[in-house]
Structure 1
Amino acid sequence: MARNTGNSRFSALALALVAAPVALMAQSSTTSAMTGVVRDPKGNPLAGATIRITSPSMIGGEKTTKSTENGSYRFSVLPPGRFRIVVEAPGMTTLTGNETLELGRTATLNWKFQNAASAVVEVISEAASLDSAPVGVTANYSTEQLASLPTERSLSGIMNLTPGVNANHAWGGDSRENAWMMDGINISDPQSNTQWIYPNPDWFSEIQVGGIGAPAEFGGFTGGFINGIIKRGGNDLAGNISGYYGDSKWEAVSTNSDPRFSAADRKPLPAKDWDMAVNVGGPILKDKLWYFGSFERKSSESTSIGAAAPVKRRDLLALMKLTWQATPNATLEGIYEYDFVGRERRNISSTTELDATNKQEAPNHSYGLTWTQAVGSDKVFTLKAFGYSGRNDQPGYNKEDYSLDTYDTFNGIEYYHNPTTVSYDYRARFTLSATFDLFRSGLFSANDSHAFRMGIERESITDEEVQRSPGGIGLMGYVDVDSNDNPAVFTDYFWTGGGWNIKEKATRTTAFIQDSWSVNDRLTLRPGLRFEQQQAHAYGQPTVWDTKTVAPRFGVTYALTADQKNLLKFHWGRFFSAYSASYIDRQYQSMLPPEVRYHWGTPASGYAPVQIDPTNYASWPMPVLNDPANPAYMTISSFAPTDPNAKQPYMDETTLSFEHRFDSPWTASATYIYRVNKDTLLKKDLAKDTGHWEDMSFWDYRHDPEGNTQVTMPVWQSSIPSDQHQWIVTNIPEAKRAFWSATLALTRQFQDGWSLNASYTRARRYGNSYKANGYDELFENPNNQINANGLLPGFDDNEFKLHGMYEFPWKMRVSGSFTYLSGNHYTPYGRFTDDQGVRYFPNVVPRGSEKYPSEHLLDFRVTQLLPVTATKNAELFVEVFNLLNTGTALAWNERMNTANYQLPSSVERGRRLRLGFRVNF
């Protein structure tokens, strides 16, 4: 917790006066709180003391309360920010202090009067954290911190700063198992549970990354969560204008050494990135009506190594928030937000022709209202409504022309003329919630206190998805040699159908209760309980998903020493996954039209393969439908109804941590996390398979880059025709996933011009299943269970993160961020087609036997501050990303029976510069 350094008056009271602030994770997802105990000079609880607080972030002016019979007091539902505190009692010296409240946390400030001659005493002390969430692996980032670090300007970039979180995989969870929140409300995509709204980080006064040891208010994730609190404005006009610019001319050539990439492939294509934003807030009526507004335009270009063109992305974002102090005890807030994401050449890669990419058009609107009502000093009601609706359309560039996939690459290209699929999606989410905060003291003993928070929430979502082949038909070719023994492309088959047409609605009803029970000055208990009911149905159909879950949580924090500098924390909790539209998106055959395959050739050839030029669409033989001479030879159906007795997937989490606070800005911690996933949803085949095992030989490019050797392994030849499977989506107990990590962290809060955060994490993610949303293919076929157990992807054995800042006397700041990742685990696999004409991809070695190269990322930023007045200044800065210019492969072809084995599809961008400015007023 950040602290104000105060002034020299501390020396006059060092022996007799203590104000000890601590943090409790029992507050709201959008606010903070302040609590504590007031004592007389003898250390006895003092009733009737007056506590006053003021803050630039708090509308309505000063707030006051009085201490209860046991000396305790509480201010609930406060905005995060810096507060001034004054404590008064008849006949006592007035005490004052400063505290910075952090999002989602409660600061405990205990005050002790003394007999002193001075009329006012300034109290200065350091903060400890008594919440259940370990400080070493969860983080709160202020606007000032984010503005000074060289990091990606996105929620995911901020999330990945946190120990144990990389590439949006949080503490063993999948990237689709996080909760993305804005003002405490879910902004995730209801289909995939990935991020739907991409806000400007400048919108937020503070961003919290958490999930470990989270109280009952938080749910809908088995990974982690990130939550940004939108700024409110203030009594003074304040804002900034900022700009960022990058150019591929300032980007180094990739150092990736794969010989299949030429020097031209490694050289960045011409590209420019820029980002311009205006953010301003202030009063319409002082202490009565505030506003905050933001407008941003940005454009970026990124090129996959070997691709013929960059992906061009453009964004437009606008937001307005009003805060009205409607009565002395009530506040109304309203927001409206618009964002647009557009991309050119989406999905391009080194094996994709320019015209075989997608164009993206994705507008979205969001809106919300929040009413907060205080009743006395111990009760607060909050009513909140929030919703969004938006589209994500990805058509092709050649309208309804057919696409071509050549199965393997021909002259380095596999996909031609149009994308294999086009999609047209719509999403909407609406949430209505009510929460009640209640503070009570002396319930079970004279000195205890309880901060209860209880709430109910109702959420509805709409998911519409259309994905199909352009023109309703897809073309498949293959690469072989022609009569002159030269590589050539031949026709193979075409298909109709496939894709999906999903329209569904879902609702969630939640109730929770959480208590932060301060038993005494050293022991805090946090029991909590969360209930949810999830229901879903397709348009015009009955409910097919209906689950009721109960998630208990329990945390304990014990101060091993009276000065609260040595803390032992324990937390156990059950966390259920958020509902995903994927749970029932194969419920009806109409949602997934069967894929029907026909031989592709010409009537003159009897529909036998013919040679084609894949780059000349006009020369391709057009598919012929309804020809008796060319009947369908295969039908593939993905129809998979959901088990009516299926349960909501969940994760049990146990954490244990020790934290030590030094007599300085330094804090050290050690944290152990264990998570195990249960009731995983997978697709299973109920049809009886009387097939057999047989040995299959695969060309082995893993050990022989020339592909002259083979490896032989048993594979399953299924007896079930492709259109006679009896799929079902259900919970399968044999699906296993577990995760553990141990983290050592050292933090130095900003003081004397510098700060530092360092962490080392050792982790393991293991089992046989890494998705819980019904799309893991583990039990679809025995081939998928070959070598299925082992180390799962999505983690690194060893992780080291370091970031910090130093400020020189001449107003120059230097900040840096270093990340070492030992490499994700992956599993080489082979591809073959079984007797039924279905492709399978069995693992040729135990899961997770191989690792990607380690990553060493060093980013750097230099900022020069140019003061104009006490409140106005300008900043000029330069950022250097990937200073070491590593060309590490982040993803590559893992199929070992192809010459493209380990051909990178994603490589760390070379060293690059970004220039920027910010004018603060």
Structure 2
Amino acid sequence: MLQYARFAVTLTGIILLPALAFAQASITGIVKDTSGAVLPGVTVEAASPVLIERVRAATTDGTGQFRIVDLRPGTYVVTFTLTGFMTLKREGIELTGSFTASVNADLKVGSLEESVTVTGESPVVDTQSVRRQMTVAGDLLADVPTARSWYATVMLIPAIATQAGTSSDVQVTPQMTVFGGTGGRGNEGRMQVDGLNTGASLNGGGVSTYIADIGNAQEVALTTSGGLGEAEVGGPTISIVPKTGGNTFKGTVYFGGVGSRMVGSNYTEALRIAGLSTPGSLLKQWDANAAVGGPIKKDKLWFFATARDEGQYRSIPGIYPNLNAGDRTRWLYAPDKTRQAQGAESWQVGTLRLTLQATPRNKFNVYWDEQNPCNGATYSSNIDGCRKQPSSGAFVGSLGLGGLTTTSSPETAGYLDIYQRAQQVTWTSTVTNRLLLEAGVGTYLSRWGPTDMPGNPTRGLIRVTEQCAAGCANNGDIPNLAYRSANWRNNWNGTHTWRASMTYVTGAHNMKFGYQGGYLVDDQKNFTNDSNLAFRFNNGVPNQITETALPYQVHQDVRYDALYLQELWTFSRMTLQGALRFDHAWSYFPEQQIGPSNYLPFSTKFERQDGITGYKDLTPRVGVAYDVFGSGKTSLKVNLGKYLEPASNSANYIITNPIARVAGGLGQPAITRTWTDTNGNFVPDCDLLNPLAQNLSAAGGDVCAGLSNLNFGRPVFSNNIDPAILGGWGIRPSDWGFGVSVQQQVLPRMSVEVGYFRRWLQHFTVTDNVNVNASDFSSFSITAPSDPRLPSGGGYVVSGLYDVNPALFGSTSNLIAYADKYGTQYQRSNGIVMNVSARVRNGLTFQGGVNTGKTAQDICEVRAQVPELTFLTAGVQPALSPTNPYCHSDPGLITRVTGFGSYMIPKVDVLFSGTFRSDQGGVLRADYVVSNAVAAQALGRNLAAGANSNVTVNLVAPGQVWGDRVNEVDVRIAKILRFGRTRTSVGLDVYNTLNSNAVLTYNQAFVPGGTWLAPTSLLTPRFAKISMSIDF
């Protein structure tokens, strides 16, 4: 029986800031008489019901050209009038995204009262802009099977570089996932609602946990390259254009849900043999939306309001409640395999948007979006919270940030039930037919990360992570499992933005001068257990202690201002465009304090300090668009531009934060020491306040190595910053992008675009421990174990590994500087993208394409000078460490294929629709824990960290081992029922129709003959979803 939980109410708001590279479509053209002579002074009007002012007008200039800008997506009628000539109307002009529609006219001599109406196909090729943009209409988004979320839409755009792993899973509910363009920074993608960036104030500032409901969007436009002065970054931007109401009351109600009996299984015997003991599964999903819009006063004040309730329950693959949870006498993980751990998340969202035509030339938008999440549950069923533990015994935790994963026991799961909010006000003034003024201000506030689970009994327990160097049969068989105690946060961030612009338009020219500003606030407070300790075990045997200094609070703020001037100049069949943008960005840190705590018995207070003192950049962007044959059906586009790394509370903007520079770092100030539990009581019988090595085994105690950093918590900065990276002209991290493409109309209402794109990044940072140099490291090699799963069966030599000389272990004084101080580092990408868009009149709509390319990274010259370099995950730099030697990364071509479309069978009103995507799996590692005994044979001495230490060596180079390719096909069949002005769609969606069991995440801890590459999560199995939408 179908088990829904609840349906309620939808949308997530949509916003109102036409400023950045968002949907501001245009209509342009040239007017002539029947002899071919240009006609100045022709009045051109564009009318559409999507405009609250109903009509926008322009006048042809001396060259006969006109241009009408700042038009919302919709269908327009263009009317041409001039005394002495017949009136001409062009109907059915469809505008999407930032598309520029070329609408030319030839006027015949006659009276104004005489009119000619022409209905033809709307242009599909943009011959006047170098911006590459893929636009998806709102009705198509409602027709195809998706999660009605922005990231589900992003995954269908071929030019986007998506993340491998769980981010490639079937999208069931909205998720916060960073994305970027091929060869760019992984977090450079922007998510905007009507022009406002709703990203968080940190981690690149591009995305956040903000829930944008594309099910109530007018359209979604994805710009991948070719941005002019309005664009700060060179990566992709997804802009959601909202519905705004109108002069007619209209609304939508949507219900959709999945029950456990509607979910199949893709678990096979082969997967069980490969090491996946229990797969995860979707248990329940629901989505209920309601939206209504209309006039409060016709042609004067419109409203659009939405409400939404949605969520999901999901079992966690291979994770079970810990039978020892909450027991301070138990130190190992004991899975209760009678019940599988579950994750839960839900959101309740309400929005209101008002559009006011205050005067004939002045329009205001006001927007409020309130969102209340409920991620996770209370620890027990008798504790109050937004969700209680079920009495059934299945432990429910959070699926959100810091929530349950395949390497976390349920007692470590987070909880979150605190609101996030977006608020905006914008103003638009058409001063004249040629002068447009715009201004706006917006705020996005959010709480991120897990908070303390209500009823949490683990505060008095020490957190343990199982390293599993030789399998972990003695401790749960789950590599890298964290258990026993939770960490949690109390974090707030605020994104405050404002902008203003002036656009001056003639027929041949479109000039815009604009300003953008922002204030980004990041306040973090981190917590751990009462002891401020964490242990690491190897197959149940202690080998490392982590000492923390919590709680402590971080304050960091970023400010930026930008001015830009851009110009489009059309003459004959060519449009030249260029822009120059000036950016000024800086950061600072209000008063902060670290300590006191039990392992940091003193406190250190830091007064307000500056971070980035001032990045100043002038970035040029140029391009040319050419109507090849003058028919408006073939366009050649070429562009070149310099773009910047986004200003946010991350990367260079926060490296001078004094708390980040105190030993231990920003997220959780901590240091480690190797530990031998000689007496086997799981208690470190050493003086943990003594930073030096101790051997108390003779007295019944333990062996504890010295602290990994002797300056832990002291106002002695372990990180010093090269002043050259903190301010100045032209030194902010940036990238260049080049593109050339051809767009061709192949059939009426169908176009194909093929392009070549190249990007290269500059200004990389590295961390150099100046207390050591390259000669202070011993280089060594190991032999990979023989194993048929390794390349060539293993047995090969892995060289280029480093270990610091023992006398300098723990001696740290880091200098953060640009890589070119030490040698050459580069990241370059080349790719080809093809997009197909068809919206033919027989009811068939299709969009899709192919993206294939490669990215090469190299930092070998720098590593030779700075052997201690560490980048834990691949991104702008390849994954690297002293024992992960692959300083050159060129894994080869990566190809994405995507497509989605719909077809309405005439007369019977039956809708068929579907989506397809094929994504390359991720680059995999073979993390082999090398004991001191093995390393010592190569080094001729013990490892610097001590005889009980070990190091982790990746045995495979990037691109040698890949994860499964993810091929997902989703389909929908729906019957359309019409009753008067009401349209009802009753549909059945089938996700992962082919029931692919592609592996998303793997155990990458290598043990000879062990569970290396054992699956830890799969693509969600095939499931059916029943949905109904009512439009009235």
Written as runs of structure 1 = structure 2, the 5 A alignment for 1:653-692 is 653-689=737-773, 690-692=776-778
State the Cα deviation string for residues 271-326 of structure 1 (Å, max 9, x = none): 21001111111100000001111111111123343233232111121111111111
Per-residue deviation at 1:829?
A: 4.1
Would the alpha carbon gap of residues 543 and 708 (structure 1) be closer, same or farther in structure 2, given more than 3 Å must change? closer
Equivalent residue of 1:751, what SS? Answer: coil
Q: Distance in 1 between matches of 2:873 and 2:411?
A: 32
Alignment-mate amino acid for residue 266 of structure 2:
S
User: How many positions carry a matched residue from both structures?
Assistant: 862
Query: Does the aligned pair in 2 maintain the 1:683–1:777 contact within 8 Å?
Result: no
Output one character per residue of 1:405-459: Cα deviation in whole Å (capped at 9) or x when no partner: 1222422245354456322211011111110110135xxxxxxx11011101111
Partner deviation per Cα, 1:69-96 (whole Å, 9 max, x = no partner): 3222232322222222222223323211
Alignment of 1:421-820 (within 5 A): 421-441=487-507, 449-471=508-530, 473-480=532-539, 488-490=540-542, 492-497=544-549, 501-520=553-572, 522-540=573-591, 541-545=608-612, 546-582=614-650, 583-591=652-660, 594=664, 595-597=670-672, 608=678, 610=680, 626=689, 633-636=706-709, 639-646=718-725, 647-689=731-773, 690-697=776-783, 699=785, 703=789, 713-719=799-805, 721=808, 723-733=810-820, 734-768=824-858, 782-784=882-884, 786-791=885-890, 797-809=894-906, 810-820=908-918
Deviation at residue 511 of structure 1 after TM alignment: 0.7
Q: 8 Å contact 1:54–1:85 — kept in the other structure?
A: yes
TM superposition shift of 1:781: 5.2
Indicate the residue corresponding to 1:85 in structure 2: 78
Using a 3 Å threshold, how does the CA distance of structure 1 residues 134 and 436 change in structure 2: closer, same or farther? closer
TM-score when normalising by structure 2: 0.78
Q: Match for residue 125 of structure 2? A: 129
- Mapped contact 2:354–2:365 kept (Cα < 8 A): yes
Q: Does 1:327 align with 2:359?
A: yes
Matches of 2:42 and 2:872, distance apart in 1: 53
Q: Which residue of 1 aligns with 2:193?
A: 182
Q: What SS is found at the alignment partner of 1:140?
A: strand
Match of 1:296 among 278, 283, 308: 308
Please say if residues 458 and 485 of structure 2, whose CA atoms lie closer than 8 Å, have aligned partners that are also in contact. Answer: no
* 1:15 aligned residue: none
Partner in structure 2 of residue 100 of structure 1: 94
TM-aligned CA deviation for residue 643 of structure 1: 3.0
- Would you tell me which structure has more strand in proportion to its own residues? 1
- Is the Cα contact below 8 Å between 1:208 and 1:228 reproduced in 2? yes
Shift of 1:710: 8.5
Q: 1:421 to 1:267 in 2, by over 3 A?
A: closer
In structure 2, the CA distance between the partners of 1:653 and 1:460, relative to structure 1 (3 Å rule), is: same
AA aligned to 1:685 is N
For 2:998 and 2:721, the matched residues in 1 are separated by 41
- Conserved? CA contact 2:219–2:240, under 8 Å: yes
1:212 counterpart residue number: 225
Gap runs ≥5 in structure 2 = 1-17, 164-178, 321-340, 377-396, 592-607, 665-669, 697-701, 726-730, 860-869, 933-942
In the alignment, structure 1 residue 885 sits paired with structure 2 residue 995: yes
2:832 is the counterpart of 1:821: no
The answer on whether the counterparts of 2:123 and 2:632 sit within 8 Å (CA) in structure 1 is no
**CA distance, structure 2, for counterparts of residue 714 and residue 608 of structure 1:** 34
SS across alignment from 1:211: strand
User: Alpha carbon RMSD of aligned pairs, Å?
Assistant: 3.2
Alpha-carbon offset, residue 27 of structure 1: 8.9
SS in 1 for 2:719: coil
Take 2:732 and 2:125, find their aligned partners in 1: how far apart are those partners?
Answer: 33
* SS across alignment from 2:481: strand
CA gap 1:736/1:341 in 2 versus in 1, 3 angstroms: farther
Change in Cα spacing, 1:27 to 1:698, as seen in structure 2 (3 Å) is closer
Distance 1:472 1:567, change over 3 A: farther
Q: What CA distance in whole angstroms lies between the structure 1 residues aligned with 2:852 and 2:93?
A: 34
- Structure 1 pair 767–642 and aligned structure 2 pair: CA distance change class (3 A): same
**SS of residue in 2 equivalent to 1:259:** helix
1:406 correspondence with 2:466: yes
Contact 1:789-1:846 at 8 Å conserved across structures: no
Q: Which residue does 2:253 correspond to in 1?
A: 241
Measured after TM superposition, the shift of residue 362 of structure 1 is 4.5
Contact 1:491 1:611 in 2 (8 A): no
Say if 1:357 and 1:418, in contact at 8 Å, map to a contact too: no
Q: Distance in 1 between matches of 2:788 and 2:438?
A: 59
SS of equivalent to 2:271: coil
Q: Determine the C-alpha separation between the residues in 2 that align with 1:853 and 1:92.
A: 66
CA 1:263–1:128: 2 relative to 1, 3 Å: closer
Post-superposition offset of 1:867: 0.7
State the SS of the aligned residue for 1:43.
coil
Confirm or deny: 8 A CA contact 1:500 1:593 kept in the other structure.
no
Q: 1:780 to 1:184 in 2, by over 3 A?
A: same
8 Å contact from structure 2 (residues 777, 804) kept in 1:
yes
> What do the CA deviations read for 1:350-369 (whole angstroms, capped 9, x no partner)?
44322122223442121111
Q: CA deviation at 1:109?
A: 1.5
Structure 2 counterpart of 1:127, which letter? P
1:835 corresponding residue in structure 2: 944
Secondary structure of 1:850 counterpart: coil
Conserved in 2, the CA contact under 8 Å of 1:643 and 1:730? yes
Q: Alpha carbons of 1:187 and 1:643: their partners in 2 closer, same or farther (altered >3 Å)? A: farther
Per-residue displacement from partner, 1:737-794 (whole Å, max 9, x unpaired)? Answer: 111111233332232111223423321122147999999776985434x1221226xx
Q: Distance in 2 between matches of 1:212 and 1:76?
A: 21
Could you say what secondary structure the match of 2:151 adopts? helix
**How many angstroms apart in 1 are the aligned matches of 2:814 and 2:128?**
43
**Cα pair 1:544 1:642 within 8 Å, conserved:** no
Residue number in structure 2 paired with 1:153:
148
**Alpha-carbon spacing, 1:708–1:377, altered in 2? closer, same or farther (3 Å):** closer
What is the identity, as a one-letter code, of the residue corresponding to 2:243? K
Which aligned pairs between 1:64-83 and structure 2 lie closer than 5 A? 64-83=57-76
| AA of the residue aligned to 2:1024 | L
Q: Which deviates more, 303-312 or 759-768? A: 303-312
User: For the residues of structure 1 that align with 2:280 and 2:244, how far apart are their CA atoms?
Assistant: 45
C-alpha displacement of 1:370: 0.5
SS of equivalent residue, structure 2 residue 610: coil
Counterpart for residue 16 of structure 1 = none
Contact 2:130–2:639 (8 Å) recurs in 1: no
- Alpha-carbon separation, structure 2, partners of 1:294 and 1:211: 29
- Given the superposition, is the C-alpha separation of residues 475 and 662 from structure 1 closer, same or farther in structure 2, using an over 3 Å criterion? closer
Aligned partners of 2:105 and 2:564: how far apart in 1?
32
The reply to whether residue 896 of structure 1 matches residue 1001 of structure 2 is no
Q: Kindly tell me: are residues 862 and 457 of structure 1, through their superposed partners in 2, closer, same or farther at Cα, counting changes over 3 Å?
A: same
Q: Is 1:816–1:858's contact at 8 Å kept on the other side of the alignment? A: yes
2:969 match = 858
Structure 2 counterpart SS, 1:825:
coil
Q: Which amino acid aligns with 1:558?
A: Y
Aligned to 1:617: none
SS at match of 1:145: helix
Q: In the TM superposition, what whole-angstrom CA distance separates every residue of 1:824-859 from its partner, at most 9, and x where no partner exists?
A: 334444344742368754443332222222222111
Q: Residue 61 of structure 2 aligns to a residue in which SS?
A: coil
